[in-house]
């Protein structure tokens, strides 16, 4: 016995119409997965079968979970073998948790769109050459909300015909590739979850939303019309059934610098710019036809600028690549809550200016001073 036999057994015994009682054969097979010792799994991983509880699952599945990592399929990343509703296919897929989004986005299109956005972002972190015979999403052939969400949540997927399953060796090779992909995706995912953004649900790109409303005339122009920074007050985050109170220092940083930039001859824009933190345009260019400065704000924690600089650099390059494909490339600025030391010349070498809050206002790198964006350039 092994993974191949297990998948074949589920495909041949599962019957959605038979219910979810313990005596139902297909349910017995799935519930017994966790206690099986004949499955050859990567070290540190375990398997669990899922066929529904009170209601039989339209698409039964077997989760492959990292014992030291994410153990709850409601949230996070994991691997799973998901069967199509007609049981003709089973797919090994790198999945995002879907249940936690229900309270925020419901169970329909909004959730699916968010999952697809984030899946596409995670997919970019994976090596293309490793997944040449993989697809993005499986076809689970069921119109219910959960199967559709599984499809949308798939980062990569390897589809098998249950009537002609490959050998255990081939299945294990694919599973090991899935584990490697999981590790890479988790690293990328962690960056987004630890981003200063308060709401991870809003992190997905909306490539159609990055437009700017232009005033009808120069007389109507208001340099703060499109500057709508988020509330800097405290906000509550529910974590593991308890509440934590956090300060939105990130929003304060954006707000304070945006207001300061007005006095330096720039128009700060946050409206319709998500996921970008802040965009600056020269106030004299009220129609937005000229240069644009893309600002990524980061909080330096405990005096250690390393993480803040890495995240700012990565996000600036990513946004420039994906959000300015049909537009002139912007000037790049890393905005920090305090001085970043040796990282300032490092960022300059990458073509990125740096600006940080100082005792007397705003200090920055030579590029930022040349643009007249620092206090000392007055």
Using pLDDT thresholds of 50, 70 and 90, give the confidence band for residue 371: very high
**Statement to judge: residues 177 and 54 lie in one domain:** yes
Residue 228 CA to residue 255 CA, distance in Å, equals 8
Q: How far is CA 138 from the centre of its chain?
A: 20
Q: Which residues touch 227 (CB under 8 Å, ≥6 apart)?
A: 258, 259, 267, 268, 269, 270, 271
Distance CA(2)–CA(7), nearest Å, equals: 9
Classify residue 142: in a domain, yes or no: yes
Query: Has residue 200 been placed in a domain?
Result: no
Kindly state whether residue 198 falls inside one of the protein's structural domains. Answer: no
The mean-pLDDT minimum among 64-68, 126-130, 159-163, 169-173 falls in 126-130
Residue found by looking up tokens 């699916």 in the block: 112
Whether 297 and 258 have beta carbons less than 8 Å apart is answered as no
In a shared domain, residues 102 and 187: yes
- Burial group, residue 147, by CB count within 10 angstroms (0-12, 13-18, 19+): buried
Tell me the mean pLDDT in the region 251-277: 89
- Which residue among 132, 166, 193 closes a domain? 193
Residue 36's CB is within 10 A of a number of other CB atoms, namely: 14
- Residue 212 belongs to some domain of the structure: yes
- Is residue 199 one of the residues assigned to a domain? no
Q: Are 138 and 84 in contact (CB under 8 A)?
A: yes
**Residue 208's pLDDT is what?**
41
pLDDT digits (tens, 9 = 90+) for 225-261: 555 555 545 444 443 444 433 345 888 899 999 999 9
Q: Calculate what percentage of the chain has a pLDDT beyond 70.
A: 81
Does residue 159 share a domain with residue 19?
yes
Q: Can you tell me the mean pLDDT for 207-222?
A: 40
Both 98 and 56 in one domain: the answer is yes
Does some domain include residue 368? yes
pLDDT tens per residue, range 77-98: 999 999 999 999 999 999 998 8
Instruction: Count CB-CB contacts under 10 A for residue 289.
Output: 9
Alpha-carbon dihedral sign for residues 106, 107, 108, 109 = positive
Q: What is the mean pLDDT of residues 341-365?
A: 94
pLDDT, tens digit, 9 for 90 and up, residues 123-136? 888 878 778 889 99
Containing structural domain, residue 187:
3-193
pTM above 0.75, yes or no: no
- The residue-averaged pLDDT of 55-67 equals 94
Q: Are residues 215 and 354 in the same domain?
A: yes
- The answer on pLDDT for 210 being more than 50 is no
- The structural domain count of the chain equals 2
Domain boundary among 193, 224, 242: 193
Q: Are 34 and 49 in contact (CB under 8 A)?
A: yes
Examine the domain organization and report whether 55 and 129 are in the same domain.
yes
User: Across residues 42-68, what is the average pLDDT?
Assistant: 92
Give the whole-angstrom CA distance, residue 320 versus residue 333: 12
Q: Are residues 308 and 166 in the same domain?
A: no
Mark whether 219 and 354 lie in a shared domain. yes
Same-domain check for residues 312 and 343: yes
Q: pLDDT band at residue 288, thresholds of 50, 70 and 90?
A: low
Q: What is the CATH number of the domain that holds 161?
A: 3.30.920
Residue-wise pLDDT tens digits, 294-333: 999 999 988 889 999 999 999 999 999 988 888 899 999 9
- pLDDT at 164 > cutoff 50: yes
Q: Is the pLDDT of residue 138 over 50?
A: yes
Which residue, 369, 348, 349, is CA-closest to 358? 369
Same domain, residue pair 170 and 298: no
Is 259 in the same domain as 176? Answer: no
* Domain shared by 367 and 221, yes or no: yes
The confidence score (pLDDT) of residue 272 equals: 79
Can you name the residues that pair with 52 across neighbouring β-strands?
56
Domain assignment present for residue 359? The answer is: yes
Domain final residue, candidates 166, 193, 220: 193
Residue 80 belongs to a domain: yes
Confidence at residue 79, expressed as pLDDT on a 0 to 100 scale: 96
193: which 2 tokens? 């979850």
* pLDDT computed for residue 223 by the predictor: 55
Residue 21 phi, psi (nearest 5): -70, 160
């Amino acid at each position: 016995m092994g993974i191949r036999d297990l998948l074949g057994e589920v495909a041949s015994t599962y019957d959605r119409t038979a219910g979810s009682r313990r005596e139902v054969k297909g349910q017995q097979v799935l519930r017994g997965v966790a206690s099986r010792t004949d499955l050859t799994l990567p070290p540190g991983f375990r398997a669990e079968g899922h066929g529904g509880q009170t209601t039989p699952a339209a698409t039964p599945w077997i989760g492959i979970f990292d014992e030291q990592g994410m153990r709850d399929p409601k949230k996070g990343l994991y691997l799973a073998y998901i069967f199509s509703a007609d049981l003709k296919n089973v797919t090994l897929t790198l999945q995002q948790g879907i249940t936690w989004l229900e309270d925020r986005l419901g169970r329909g299109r909004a959730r699916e769109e968010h999952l697809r956005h984030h899946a596409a972002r995670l997919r970019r972190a994976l090596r293309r050459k490793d997944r040449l015979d993989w697809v993005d999403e499986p076809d689970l052939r069921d119109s219910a909300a959960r199967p559709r969400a599984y499809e949308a949540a798939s980062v990569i997927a390897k589809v098998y015909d249950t009537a002609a399953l490959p050998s255990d060796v081939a299945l294990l090779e694919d599973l090991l590739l899935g584990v490697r992909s999981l590790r890479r995706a988790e690293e990328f995912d962690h960056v987004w979850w630890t981003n200063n953004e308060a709401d991870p649900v809003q992190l997905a790109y909306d490539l159609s939303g990055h437009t700017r409303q232009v005033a009808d005339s120069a007389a109507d122009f208001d340099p703060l019309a499109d500057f709508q920074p988020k509330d800097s007050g405290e906000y509550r985050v529910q974590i593991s059934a308890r509440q934590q109170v956090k300060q939105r220092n990130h929003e304060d940083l954006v707000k304070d610098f945006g207001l300061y930039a007005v006095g330096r001859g720039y128009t700060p824009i946050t409206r319709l710019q998500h996921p970008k933190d802040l965009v600056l345009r020269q106030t004299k260019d009220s129609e937005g036809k000229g240069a644009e400065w893309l600002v990524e704000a980061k909080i330096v924690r405990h005096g250690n600028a390393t993480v803040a600089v890495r995240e700012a650099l990565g996000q600036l390059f990513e946004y420039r690549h994906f959000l300015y494909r049909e537009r002139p490339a912007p000037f790049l600025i890393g905005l920090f809550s305090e001085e970043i030391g040796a990282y300032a010349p490092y960022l300059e070498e990458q073509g990125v200016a740096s600006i940080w809050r100082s005792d007397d206002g705003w200090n920055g790198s030579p590029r930022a001073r040349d643009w007249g964006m620092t206090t000392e350039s007055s």
